[in-house]
């Protein structure tokens, strides 16, 4: 699935970022993953705040540190060490960071090493000799730079590894983007462009794929490749893809990429179907070779960084997809983090990782504090909104060489033109809006009903609300009844995304605006579908369980394959299908290589914990309790399964996933039973639904929606029609971050999460 677009979505992300920065000086909006290894991914996806034990100590120390404050900020020097300025983004970030540091009163020293690892070390040594108190380093080589960085750290300099890991536990912090997700989105963009799931191998042979990695000295390039392979490798394993070339591009140099691609095309006789390249520079270099052979615009190719040149190539129909890593968020984060470190202020936005996790190299030792920001896929459908209208790149840079009659209007022009003939404002006061819920047995739905009712009433709407108690006929009847009572809009949480179409289509035909809320209604007549990134939910559930069993180090010879139970959700809920899709993206490669054996695969009607309990009792009986891991699709089903597992002494021993970060689920996490839940923050989705409803009823433009085919949304090619949709990010919750992510954020109350936990084993109240 494509990542979501601008406007409403971005407002949520920015809101999360601002709130986090207020809390700790700077923090990423999660889900920020950055996992270098599958087992590391779950922890890193959270970019969760620093460990609980450290927080109180920091808080107590703060006053003393303030009294013994360092010299005035104006007297301090901060060094910026860049690997190169040939990569377009680095010069932009240097300008921004310098500006932000000078605004805070720091003196700035800045150096660029022009891809020379020895020169970068010398430059760092020189800045330390000039008395810098902190260094922000974009490393040319994450290993080679350790020499100078360790000397700097030993001299008391705070070193921040910026976007590229420095492989030393002496760094003060590492901040970056969700680099594994970068790779996933690159591969997903290319896979969509070639329509991989419908590729006819019998007729065409396997897809002939070229992989162009980045600089082998850049740890990020390894992470991008990990994400790419998570998407690509299952197709390789099933024979749908053949990798015809796999190369790494020294220094991320477009000229090197051009030469490599020329050689690859010569060797392949130009018989190449797709290219996964790791940034815009290498992609544009490869595209020069492809243009010479008439392949540009025909063979899909990925990039990264949403550079002006890359986006221009996208609008020309050459580059297929780039990945936006918004430096407007990362640079301020780096400066605020530096400022806090130098002032001795507590920093809650960092989470501790092992160096082995971050490098995917078990020989690396020590721990590092790190934080990761999300990324977004840019393609021809969203480059205008995501890159140009947001101001990330200028209109003229992106649309240069594009004839005027083929350009979209400049931002602002499209709003100005229709202003003269704008429709009169619609008075929605007193209008009725209906809320149709599948059930209230699922904890979250009642909470969302209360919140949505409150928000609608604040806007002047009259609210009708119904709950169908898992009865599909009753839900249809309730919707018919609300339409008869004159609702102008309906927000529907469908019990069955197929069955509810009967009533929804009648409502839409009567002029009612129907929003499918968190669960897809399989009708193109709905006005909009809003939800969370449900495929990512499944990925994170599986990743959490895979980390808990240390799957990549599992000894099959000694233990046999991991015996895995899959507990899907309600088969009538399209989200359950999407969760399973994400779960299988992570699990299936291990099944294919013989590391995992699926001993049971069940779906839980109505998401009912009692059904899950019965199913798990039967599964454990059939398996003789020989089960190593369980991927369950929400907290309710997981907690039902855990009842059966407790009876057999397996709770807390066999990892199991959930979803929704319910109070009961989080309580189970802190008790050491449930391994991982997924936070879908309804505090963002419910307001989004109400604002969307309000805009629809007032006839106001809505820019935050993107069009999808029903086939895409259902993974069912028999479904036809298009739907406007928008998806929000999700976050993984585990024992390491439940306090910060769920309790301190106020998503669940302290007393609910820590009930039954002895006082001396609880963290302090927020």
Output the pLDDT for position 372: 87
Structure tokens of 281?
């520079």
User: What is the spatial distance between Cα 373 and Cα 333, in angstroms, rounded to a whole number?
Assistant: 10
Output the pLDDT for position 224: 94
Are the C-beta atoms of 432 and 486 separated by less than 8 Å?
yes
| Residue for token pair 């820019």 | 703
Structure tokens of 447?
């909470």
φ and ψ at 440, to 5 degrees?
-115, 5
Q: Which 3 state secondary structure label does DSSP give 290?
A: helix
Q: What CATH number labels 432-532+702-718? A: 3.40.50.2300
User: What is the spatial distance between Cα 761 and Cα 757, in angstroms, rounded to a whole number?
Assistant: 7
Instruction: Indicate if 179-324 has the same CATH topology as 8-178+326-375.
Output: yes
Output the pLDDT for position 353: 86
Cα 496 to Cα 350, 503, 738, distances in angstroms: 41, 12, 32
Buried b (16+ CB within 10 A) or exposed e, 634-671: bbbbbbbbbbbbeebebbbebbbbbbbbbbbbbbbbbb
Do β-strands 77-82 and 132-137 pair in parallel, antiparallel, or remain unpaired? Answer: parallel
Are the C-beta atoms of 561 and 549 separated by less than 8 Å?
no
Superfamily of domain 534-679+734-761: Response regulator (3.40.50.2300)
446-504 pLDDT, tens per residue? 889 999 999 999 999 999 999 999 999 999 999 999 999 999 999 999 999 999 999 99
Output the pLDDT for position 550: 94
CA angle 279/282/287 to nearest 5° reads: 115
Give the chain's radius of gyration (CA, Å): 26
Q: How far apart are the first and last CA of the chain?
A: 37
Output the pLDDT for position 364: 87
User: What is the spatial distance between Cα 380 and Cα 384, in angstroms, rounded to a whole number?
Assistant: 8
Are the C-beta atoms of 262 and 236 separated by less than 8 Å?
no
Note the helical H segments in 671-759.
682-698, 710-714, 738, 750-753
The domain ranges of the chain are: 8-178+326-375, 179-324, 432-532+702-718, 534-679+734-761
Handedness of CA 342, 344, 349, 350 (dihedral sign): positive
Structure tokens of 505?
């289509």
User: What is the spatial distance between Cα 427 and Cα 751, in angstroms, rounded to a whole number?
Assistant: 43
Long-range contacts of 609-614 (CB under 8 A, 24+ apart): 609/636, 609/637, 609/639, 609/640, 609/643, 610/640, 611/637, 611/640, 612/567, 612/636, 612/637, 612/638, 612/639, 612/640, 612/641, 613/640, 613/641, 613/643, 613/644
Output the pLDDT for position 217: 84
Enumerate residues 6+ apart whose C-beta is below 8 A from 416: none
Q: Give 760: exposed, middle or buried? Use CB within 10 Å, 0-12, 13-18, 19+.
A: exposed
Long-range contacts of 748-756 (CB under 8 A, 24+ apart): 748/661, 748/662, 748/663, 748/666, 749/663, 752/663, 752/666, 752/667, 753/663, 753/666, 753/667, 753/670, 754/667, 754/670, 755/667, 756/667, 756/671
Output the pLDDT for position 279: 96
Output the pLDDT for position 361: 79
Handedness of CA 335, 338, 344, 350 (dihedral sign): positive
User: What is the spatial distance between Cα 528 and Cα 520, in angstroms, rounded to a whole number?
Assistant: 9
Q: What CATH number labels 179-324? A: 3.40.50.2300
CATH of 8-178+326-375, one of 3.40.50.2300, 3.40.640.10, 2.40.30.130, 3.40.50.2000: 3.40.50.2300
Output the pLDDT for position 683: 85
Output the pLDDT for position 357: 80
Q: Considering all CA atoms of the chain, what is the largest pairwise distance in Å, rounded to the nearest integer? A: 78
115-154 pLDDT, tens per residue? 999 999 999 999 999 999 999 999 999 999 999 999 999 9
Output the pLDDT for position 58: 34
Are the C-beta atoms of 383 and 314 separated by less than 8 Å?
yes
| Residue ranges for the chain with pLDDT beneath 70 | 1-75, 413-425
Bridge partners (DSSP) listed for residue 602: 567
Are the C-beta atoms of 175 and 32 separated by less than 8 Å?
no
Are the C-beta atoms of 248 and 279 separated by less than 8 Å?
no
């Amino acid at each position: 699935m494509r990542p979501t677009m601008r406007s409403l979505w971005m407002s949520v992300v920015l809101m999360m970022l601002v709130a986090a920065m207020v809390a700790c000086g700077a923090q990423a909006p999660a889900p920020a993953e950055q996992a270098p290894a599958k087992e590391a991914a779950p922890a890193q996806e959270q970019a969760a705040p620093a460990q609980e034990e450290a927080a109180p100590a920091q808080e107590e120390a703060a006053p003393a540190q303030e009294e013994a404050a360092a010299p005035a900020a104006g007297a301090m020097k901060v060094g910026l060490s860049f690997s190169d300025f040939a990569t377009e983004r680095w010069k932009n970030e240097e300008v921004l960071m310098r500006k932000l540091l000078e605004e805070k009163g720091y003196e700035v020293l800045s150096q660029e090493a022009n891809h020379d690892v020895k020169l970068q070390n010398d430059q760092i040594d020189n800045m330390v000799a000039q008395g810098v108190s902190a260094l922000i380093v974009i490393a040319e080589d994450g290993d080679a730079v350790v020499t100078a960085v360790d000397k700097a750290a030993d001299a008391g300099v705070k070193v921040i590894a910026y976007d590229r890991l420095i492989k030393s536990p002496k760094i003060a912090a590492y901040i970056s983007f969700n680099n594994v997700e970068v790779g996933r989105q690159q591969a997903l963009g290319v896979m969509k462009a070639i329509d991989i799931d419908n590729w006819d191998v019998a007729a065409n042979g396997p897809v002939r794929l070229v992989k162009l990695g980045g600089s082998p000295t850049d740890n990020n390039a390894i992470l991008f490749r990990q994400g790419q392979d998570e998407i690509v490798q299952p197709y390789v394993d099933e024979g749908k893809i053949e990798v015809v070339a796999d190369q790494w591009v020294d220094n991320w140099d477009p000229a090197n990429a051009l030469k490599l691609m020329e050689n690859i095309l010569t060797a392949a006789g130009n018989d190449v179907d797709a290219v996964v390249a790791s940034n815009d520079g290498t992609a544009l270099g490869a595209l020069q070779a492809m243009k010479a052979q008439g392949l540009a615009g025909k063979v899909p190719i990925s990039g990264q960084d949403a550079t002006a040149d890359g986006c221009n190539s996208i609008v020309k129909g050459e580059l297929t997809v780039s990945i936006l890593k918004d430096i407007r968020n990362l640079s301020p984060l780096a400066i605020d983090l530096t400022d806090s470190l130098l002032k001795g202020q507590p920093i809650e936005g960092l989470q501790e990782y092992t160096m082995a996790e971050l490098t995917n190299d078990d020989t690396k030792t020590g721990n590092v504090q790190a934080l990761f920001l999300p990324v977004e896929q840019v393609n021809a459908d969203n480059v205008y909104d995501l890159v140009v209208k947001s101001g990330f790149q200028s209109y003229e840079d992106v649309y240069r060489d594009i004839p005027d009659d083929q350009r979209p209007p400049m931002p602002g022009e499209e709003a100005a033109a229709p202003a003269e003939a704008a429709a009169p404002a619609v008075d929605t006061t007193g209008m009725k809006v209906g809320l149709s819920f599948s059930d209230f047995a699922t904890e979250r739905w009642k909470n969302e009903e209360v919140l949505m009712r409150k928000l609608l009433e604040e806007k002047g709407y009259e609210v009708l609300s119904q709950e169908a108690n898992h009865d599909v006929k009753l839900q249809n009847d309730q919707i018919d009844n609300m339409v008869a009572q004159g609702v102008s809009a309906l927000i529907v949480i469908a019990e069955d995304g197929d069955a509810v179409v009967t009533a929804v289509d009648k409502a839409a035909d009567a002029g009612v605006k129907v929003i499918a809320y968190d669960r897809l209604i399989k009708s193109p007549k709905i006005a909009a579908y809003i939800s969370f990134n449900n495929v990512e939910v499944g990925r994170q559930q599986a990743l959490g369980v895979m980390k808990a069993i240390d799957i990549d180090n599992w000894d099959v010879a000694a233990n046999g394959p991991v015996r895995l139970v899959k507990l899907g959700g309600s088969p009538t809920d399209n989200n359950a299908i999407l969760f399973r899709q994400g779960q299988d993206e992570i699990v299936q490669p291990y099944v294919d290589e013989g590391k995992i054996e699926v001993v049971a695969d069940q779906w839980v009607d109505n998401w009912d914990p009692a059904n899950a309990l019965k199913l798990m009792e039967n599964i454990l009986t059939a398996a003789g309790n020989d089960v190593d891991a369980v991927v369950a699709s929400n907290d309710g089903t997981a907690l039902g399964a855990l009842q059966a597992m407790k009876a057999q002494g397996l709770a807390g021993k066999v990892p199991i996933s959930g979803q929704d970060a319910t109070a009961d689920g989080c309580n189970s996490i802190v008790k050491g039973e449930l391994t991982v839940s997924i936070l879908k923050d309804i505090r963002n989705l419910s307001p989004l639904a109400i604002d969307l409803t309000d805009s629809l009823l007032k006839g106001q433009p809505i820019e935050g929606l993107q069009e999808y085919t029903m086939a895409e949304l259902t993974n069912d090619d028999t479904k036809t029609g298009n739907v406007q949709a928008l998806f929000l990010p999700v976050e993984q919750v585990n024992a390491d971050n439940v306090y910060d992510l769920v309790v301190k954020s106020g998503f669940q109350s302290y007393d609910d999460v820590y009930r039954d936990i002895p006082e001396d084993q609880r963290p302090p109240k927020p």
